[in-house]
Structure 1
């Protein structure tokens, strides 16, 4: 009898196909639950790119003072929620003369303090996670400042500024709009096509990374059982020993998941439903800034030594922040209940608020892409006419 045609082989193959199908369905569910917030994040980022030039922001971030870090934190909180787009903006700031601490503060704030991330956390995990994410983001930045001074010497920062990049990517600097203030720049007749172009450019650069993140997250949720996560995160240990271990393990798991700051929330819900500690899930959420594709992006931007130094700085800072915030919430008795139906909720589709928000986001994205194509066609026509 041919082995491949045996009943046992067919059952195994069918089981694997079924699980893979569940993983793809989970990935689609993660994308569906978070799609509208991704569009919102990229749209906000595009407006800021047009309204606030990196040159102007750099002038306010040239020193590692408390004021510069506070300005960078506020700017980041109002900016993109996608770690990939935020890393590109951080690169522009640092390359154009911003100090290291404000540049990293912008990076952390733009992925941990944004409104849409808090909304997604509230909807999927509860208000406690939203509060812990925002409080933890501020603690994360406060810890990062002294840690970066220890782990990243000034000489290495200057080398990173001069590093010749393998790929230029796209520049989030000044976009040619006229005006001294953000109001003046947004009144420029070219403001709308410029915003649309920035929106489309970010999506074209990052859609493959986002797709990979959702698929990997979905497959992990489908193929990895809850008891594996409980074993990996040392759930048998006493609470405080477990917390100490989980804030280290969480970032390591996130590094391998490839999922960005919004995309890792559904997988965090799966981990929380599977019994992982509150602090461990927080550390996982904070760690979207050190996923392997981003470490590689830091390498392209600044060189390998700087990429490893940034990764180490962020790792130490996020682990300590998760330890302090997670432990504080436990001591105050503010932990949300753990639900085991997170996976089921990811694969349930209905005509609820998510549907209507996604339809609105799809309309907005389609309109901005259309505007960007009109701008590109106009530029091509202009080049042909005057070339």
Structure 2
């Protein structure tokens, strides 16, 4: 295979995978925008001030209702920690924000199957519980003090502005807020800005997955993941999965297409789960932890997150194996067959129309000004989304 043909095959495979999950992406970000538009960030820090089961449960729910962008999740966790939230609650929020969000589940169902979506939900809950227990035993007041001391130094990461924007609509019933002009504006802004925050990772994930699927022979993956020995494969998978994720540099929903390639190549079910969880310990995010909290706390976060991710992978493997619902088919249809004119194509066209409507609303209601603020540091002041955009919304 010459270079041009190889590159063409990689791009074609990447596009095929993207086309298969386009409508789930639009649906997931749309639903996420609706939830975020109705949940305010202003009271989060007040409600997450301790490590009680209630606070950790609320941290999980707030995470579910937030953007799936790993960088935004990390920045917002630092923000609420600075405003009084406990360190444990902030970390639990991160886990939920990147692993229990709507768009991740929808994409997993379409690309890999419902079992993987269910495994992420169960594994995410397991991670929250395990992390809380590990923190209770190992997290010292000295580490928390170091983390808070560094957090107050205004180090800049990524998506600082996006993390601190409160775009929720207040006042009135759920339905009245949802159907109001302000609600429509808020949803459109959240939809476009969530896309803007993750598109690099999504595009990178598909391109890397396309290249791996097209260029790397299956025999390589089978040897790497010990697929010839199912028992060893189940032991190795959850340990290796996060390590592969760390060097992939891909965060957020962008690691789902990579997970599909790894599953096709022979990694264990639990290995896929731990791989998807590991977007919070990829190298760029670890560097942000270092800037936010210092090197010592960064290493602590890495160690505790890695242990809980691997443990969650093992637990999910055991539970799903006992229930007999681990998929036996490793074929990823879109990789082997490509797109065709079917219900997926029709849904994609509908999704593109909906996305276009939201984009027009975004452009007509001050969206570009908000977009320019996405990467500005939190110290530039709280970004008043209502003042810039809501007052310009069309009734």
TM-score normalised by the chain length of structure 2: 0.81
2:237 is aligned to 246
Matches within 5 A, 1:130-149: 130-149=117-136
Distance 1:57 1:338, change over 3 A: same
Q: What is the Cα deviation at residue 317 of structure 1?
A: 0.6
What is the count of residue pairs matched by the alignment?
Answer: 367
Matches within 5 A, 1:228-377: 228-237=220-229, 239=231, 241-340=232-331, 342=333, 344-345=335-336, 348-376=338-366
Q: Which whole-Å deviations, capped at 9, do the CAs of 1:301-357 have from their partners, x for residues lacking one?
A: 444444433232221111011012112323443321133455634x61123333233
Q: Do residues 166 (structure 1) and 156 (structure 2) align?
A: yes
User: Does the 8 Å CA contact 2:36/2:65 hold for their aligned counterparts?
Assistant: no
1:154 is aligned to 144
Greater CA deviation, 352-361 or 20-29? 352-361
User: Does the 8 Å CA contact 1:136/1:322 hold for their aligned counterparts?
Assistant: yes
User: Does the 8 Å CA contact 1:259/1:288 hold for their aligned counterparts?
Assistant: yes
Correspondence for 2:97 among 105, 110, 116: 110
Distance 1:163 1:355, change over 3 A: farther
Distance 1:378 1:157, change over 3 A: closer
Q: Which whole-Å deviations, capped at 9, do the CAs of 1:278-310 have from their partners, x for residues lacking one?
A: 221221122222223333344454444444332
Output the CA distance in 1 between the equivalents of 2:59 and 2:153: 23
User: Does the 8 Å CA contact 1:72/1:106 hold for their aligned counterparts?
Assistant: yes
Distance 1:120 1:210, change over 3 A: closer
Distance 1:235 1:340, change over 3 A: same
Question: Secondary structure, in 3 states, of the residue corresponding to 2:253?
Answer: coil
Larger radius of gyration: 1
2:80 is aligned to 93
Distance 1:273 1:143, change over 3 A: same
Output the CA distance in 2 between the equivalents of 1:81 and 1:267: 17
Distance 1:31 1:156, change over 3 A: farther
2:382 is aligned to none
Correspondence for 2:16 among 4, 15, 29: 29
User: Does the 8 Å CA contact 1:270/1:342 hold for their aligned counterparts?
Assistant: no
User: Does the 8 Å CA contact 1:217/1:259 hold for their aligned counterparts?
Assistant: no
Output the CA distance in 1 between the equivalents of 2:280 and 2:348: 26
Distance 1:308 1:215, change over 3 A: farther
Output the CA distance in 2 between the equivalents of 1:378 and 1:79: 21
Distance 1:195 1:341, change over 3 A: closer
Correspondence for 2:56 among 37, 61, 69: 69
Question: Secondary structure, in 3 states, of the residue corresponding to 2:85?
Answer: coil
Output the CA distance in 1 between the equivalents of 2:121 and 2:5: 38
TM-score normalised by the chain length of structure 1: 0.82
Output the CA distance in 2 between the equivalents of 1:171 and 1:177: 17
2:3 is aligned to 16
Output the CA distance in 2 between the equivalents of 1:128 and 1:325: 11
Q: Which runs of 5+ in 2 are unaligned?
A: 371-386, 389-395
User: Does the 8 Å CA contact 1:53/1:175 hold for their aligned counterparts?
Assistant: yes
Output the CA distance in 2 between the equivalents of 1:96 and 1:183: 31
